Structure 1
Amino acid sequence: MAQMLAARLHVPSRTLRMEEVPRPQPGPGEVLVKVEAAGVCLSDVHLIDGTLTPLLLRGDTVTLGHEVSGTIAETGDGVTAWTPGQRVVLHAGEERGGVVHTRGVDYDGGWAEYALSAAGALTLLPDAIPFDQGAIIPDAVSTPWGAITETGAVRPAEAVGVWGVGGLGVHAVQLLRMVGACPIVALDPSPVARERALAAGADLALDSADPGLREAIAAVTGGTGLAAAFDFAGVPAVREQALTVLAPKGRLVLVGLTDKPLNVADGTRFSYLQQRILGHYGSDMPVSLPQLLRLIEGGRLDFSGSISGVLPLAQAAAAVARLEKKEGNPIRLILRP
């Protein structure tokens, strides 16, 4: 049986190992994809450090990687929509038994030379879009896109705030600019991240520890506050801070993941102002991926600057360490088999 290299996480010990494993064979309704690029996400870091734990994984070991692009290598029985050689982006998850399973978390992902996918969990990647950029769309771009257009339902000229200008937050700034949000306020303790936010299209970038933060937001919004606030940091203090600068009927969208409690300091004020807290996870892949790829191909969006480095698959652990330690302040690192 043919073998392949894969980066496998042993969940009980949180140990990431490079292993030679059997190359999977596509079953009925499946395709085998030769991986060309796979993104390294902060969620992968959190899976390794124990902050996140797979809920639906069968067994105790999983190949990481939920941001994946490549070419069709083989098709299983009954697959007629795909042929070998086609360029594709793999969806970050699949529905199984009515429940969404996340690739690289609940089942084997794309930190490998080959990856399996259900035939319906792929989107064609246009020739004009490089594999590196295509790989990051299923999470780093589509997650903020879904948060903005669906969960947060941002409308033109609405004032918005983005807390955490990392791999997802910087794309949120770009996407908010495109949908017409105004003003866009970015908040991050890192000076580099704030500069990145301004370059991406934010109107104002603030240190989240700035004692004059509330006054600055009031000034830029004409005293009304933010119609929508997006937490990409997954930090309880961020969420509590965002609630203090929301406008009446404003909504706080929780995108960053944390297992810590959420506190509403003044429940009466929150109810009186009819504010809302909305949870968000991922996006509707069959809808969002074609939309975003069309916008990129049409020149409306450009994520070439988001690729902060490309490493061989064998250096997966080094890529994780770079992201965890923020060496060079990467937006997205790419693994290439």
Structure 2
Amino acid sequence: MADTMRAQRFYADSKTVAVEDVPIPEPGPGEVLVKVAFCGICHSDLSLINGTFPSQLPVVTQGHEASGTVAKLGPGVTGWTEGDRVVVAAGKPCLECVNCRRGDVSNCLRLRLMAFAYDGAWAEYTLAQAVGLTRVPDNVPLEQAAILADAVSTPYGAVVRTGQVGIGESVGVWGVGGLGTHVVQLARLVGAAPIIAVDVKPAILERALAVGADHAFDARDPDLGAKIAGATGGCNLDVAFDAVGLGSTFEQALNSLTVGGRLVGVGMSADAPSIGPTALFNLLKRQVLGHLGYQNADIGTLAALVSLGRLDLSRSISEIVPLEQVAQGIEKLETAAGDPIRILVQP
């Protein structure tokens, strides 16, 4: 193995990116070195570059949706061998806070996020905690496996854990891109009915119908509220997912809820939406729930669903760009060129 590798580097002071030669990291106790096969480009990566998310390091390698193969084991690592196909968890719990000590590591109070607090996987190799790896079944393509580590697992957590969508509950999804597409698919998988997709682009609305939505409506339609009411028998939505995070999408989704309905915020921005008059909010017993991330076990569940043919991610990979062209991939996602679900980087 060579001493250096190619890696993307984000410089916080200038908000610029570059692909450079850097040392290949050495796995420490409990760690493994993973040879990266694919890594997704996520909107949160853009948020670091444009300053929406404050930088935690002056220089960092981005990318937190990675699949690959085990290249080297650190001291004390058991249960893994070189060549194993894996997905890398996108965060490291501190294992010391009160939540971690009681076993609730998914709600770690000092969770370190990959590509923000430590180097990510827009690189030829990346380090990972052995306990955070998920084995990839042989019949699951590594490009599809990569997006399980956020683009699919975050929607899974939103639908199953935070939203607790039940069979027969009506669901609305605002923004049917990288996250919203998978919210639609997973809501259908757990038995939601009907599922209503809301977006502003006709092509995206057509795609939403193709992946499992029962109805697809334009967010700008002045009759949107009436159409949602009509599609739900006059009841409105049991659960709404805002996969965009703008004030307008948040408030539109909230106002489409039935009595006692739940709004789950998945997308993020710097906007500060309103819940409106507290008298009305309380009278209608609405709930607003913030969602972030997933539990590592969710990746294994999703890998099994893909392996068994229950979850089809064949449409989800919109494009693959080489590492040296990561800047072009970032630009394509930022401008929504071709309405991508996920663009991957291949080192």
AA matched with 1:87: R
Q: Distance in 1 between matches of 2:61 and 2:123?
A: 7
Select 2:239's aligned residue among 228, 236, 240.
228
AA matched with 1:80: T
Q: Distance in 2 between matches of 1:130 and 1:63?
A: 24
Partner of 1:181, secondary structure, is coil
Select 2:75's aligned residue among 74, 77, 83.
77
Q: Choose 133-142 or 320-329, whichever is displaced more.
A: 320-329
Q: Choose 38-47 or 213-222, whichever is displaced more.
A: 38-47
Q: Compute the displacement of 1:158 (Å).
A: 0.4
Select 1:273's aligned residue among 284, 298, 312.
284
Q: Compute the displacement of 1:180 (Å).
A: 0.6
**1:243 alignment counterpart:** 254
**1:62 alignment counterpart:** 60
Q: Distance in 1 between matches of 2:315 and 2:255?
A: 33
Identity of aligned residues (%): 48
Q: Distance in 1 between matches of 2:314 and 2:232?
A: 31
Q: Compute the displacement of 1:260 (Å).
A: 2.2
Give CA deviations for 1:283-318 in whole Å, capped at 9, x if unaligned.
Answer: 112x20111011111110110111111111111000
Q: Distance in 2 between matches of 1:223 and 1:327?
A: 37
Q: Distance in 2 between matches of 1:243 and 1:318?
A: 36
- Whether 1:195 and 2:196 are equivalent positions in the alignment is no
Q: Distance in 1 between matches of 2:117 and 2:270?
A: 18
- Whether 1:308 and 2:318 are equivalent positions in the alignment is yes
Q: What is the aligned-residue RMSD (CA, Å)?
A: 1.0
User: Mapping of 1:113-262 within 5 angstroms?
Assistant: 113-262=124-273
Q: Compute the displacement of 1:141 (Å).
A: 0.2
8 Å Cα contact 2:93-2:112 kept in structure 1? yes
Task: Give the TM-score normalised by the residue count of structure 2.
Answer: 0.94
AA matched with 1:89: V
Select 1:322's aligned residue among 329, 332, 338.
332
Q: Choose 321-330 or 160-169, whichever is displaced more.
A: 321-330
- Whether 1:290 and 2:300 are equivalent positions in the alignment is yes
Q: Compute the displacement of 1:259 (Å).
A: 2.4
AA matched with 1:20: D
AA matched with 1:19: E
Superposition misfits of 4+ residues, deviation over 6 angstroms: none
Partner of 1:73, secondary structure, is strand
Q: Compute the displacement of 1:51 (Å).
A: 1.8
Partner of 2:152, secondary structure, is helix
AA matched with 1:81: G
Q: Compute the displacement of 1:49 (Å).
A: 1.6
Q: Distance in 1 between matches of 2:54 and 2:139?
A: 37
Q: Distance in 2 between matches of 1:129 and 1:244?
A: 40
Partner of 2:285, secondary structure, is coil
Q: Compute the displacement of 1:277 (Å).
A: 0.3
AA matched with 1:4: M
8 Å Cα contact 2:263-2:289 kept in structure 1? yes
AA matched with 1:256: G
Alignment length, in residue pairs?
333
Q: Compute the displacement of 1:144 (Å).
A: 0.5
Q: Distance in 2 between matches of 1:183 and 1:196?
A: 16
**2:44 alignment counterpart:** 43
Partner of 1:262, secondary structure, is coil
8 Å Cα contact 2:246-2:273 kept in structure 1? no
AA matched with 1:7: Q
